Chains A and B, each alone.
Chain A
Amino acid sequence: DGGITQSPKYLFRKEGQNVTLSCEQNLNHDAMYWYRQDPGQGLRLIYYSQIVNDFQKGDIAEGYSVSREKKESFPLTVTSAQKNPTAFYLCASSIDLGSMNTEAFFGQGTRLTVV
């Protein structure tokens, strides 16, 4: 079955540590996204990528980094520079970025907690 897989589902990080969240898709989608969701808030865009080896900052990129070495994979690293990383992280993909009515498909999310 095609879809997006995020791992791990739950992640605990000590202060000062970097952690990497995995996102893999087998939908052959060009565009991939990382969002952060905090309680009672909408999704906020961290980074997005339209094509392999290219990615752009979203609204809240500070303290995060990404790579897009393969079409299928778009890992997100939460660095120690991110001061309030506890949140629900969602990875999504769509066929491409430049089309109207393009549906975004989501992974099941990673819940990151700083301990």
Chain B
Amino acid sequence: RKEVEQDPGPFNVPEGATVAFNCTYSNSASQSFFWYRQDCRKEPKLLMSVYSSGNEDGRFTAQLNRASQYISLLIRDSKLSDSATYLCVVSAGSNYQLIWGAGTKLIIKP
């Protein structure tokens, strides 16, 4: 089992719709969680950190479920510009090493 697993997609979603995807992690001692966005052939950029209480940034909401060991990302009112690959990242261990998921590809259609 991979340490961090994501559905690779692609998720094909019409503009304006709401889309959600999850990421599961295997290490119950994981301490920090992040969502990064990566555009085609570009570097990843931090979208948002995921806190235990959940957090929201505009149209984006991230949730953490420690009991079931997954994090989620919800995008409301999706825009064409949201098309990208979304990478889930988990840190664990004494040096908080980052473990990356393979990403979920999202395609927003007009």
Hey, which bits of chain A sit against chain B, CB under 8 A?
35, 40-45, 48, 50, 88, 90, 97-104, 106-109, 111
Q: Check if B4 sits within 8 Å of A99, measured CB to CB.
A: no
Contacts of A107 on B, CB cut-off 8 Å?
A: 43
Q: Find the B residue at minimum CB distance from A98.
A: B95
Q: Check if A108 sits within 8 Å of B44, measured CB to CB.
A: no
Query: Roughly how many angstroms separate A43 CA and B84 CA in the complex, as a whole number?
Result: 16
Q: How many A-B residue pairs have CB under 8 A?
A: 53
Query: Roughly how many angstroms separate A103 CA and B96 CA in the complex, as a whole number?
Result: 11
Q: Check if A106 sits within 8 Å of B87, measured CB to CB.
A: no
Contacts of B87 on A, CB cut-off 8 Å?
A: 42-43
Shortest B27–chain A CB gap in Å is 14
Partner of A108, one of B43, B91, B94, B98: B43
Query: Roughly how many angstroms separate A11 CA and B77 CA in the complex, as a whole number?
Result: 40
A–B complex contacts, Cβ < 8 Å, 22 sampled: A35-B100, A42-B87, A42-B100, A42-B103, A43-B44, A43-B87, A43-B100, A44-B100, A90-B43, A97-B95, A97-B96, A97-B97, A98-B94, A98-B96, A100-B91, A101-B49, A103-B34, A103-B46, A103-B49, A104-B98, A108-B43, A109-B41
A106-B96 CB under 8 A given contacts A42-B101, A100-B91 = no
Q: Check if A106 sits within 8 Å of B45, measured CB to CB.
A: yes
Contacts of A106 on B, CB cut-off 8 Å?
A: 43-45
- Scan residues 82-105 of chain B and give those whose CB is less than 8 A from a CB of chain A: 87, 91, 94-98, 100-103
Contacts of A98 on B, CB cut-off 8 Å?
A: 94-96
Q: Check if B42 sits within 8 Å of A102, measured CB to CB.
A: no
Query: Roughly how many angstroms separate A103 CA and B89 CA in the complex, as a whole number?
Result: 11
A109-B96 CB under 8 A given contacts A42-B4, A42-B101, A100-B91 = no
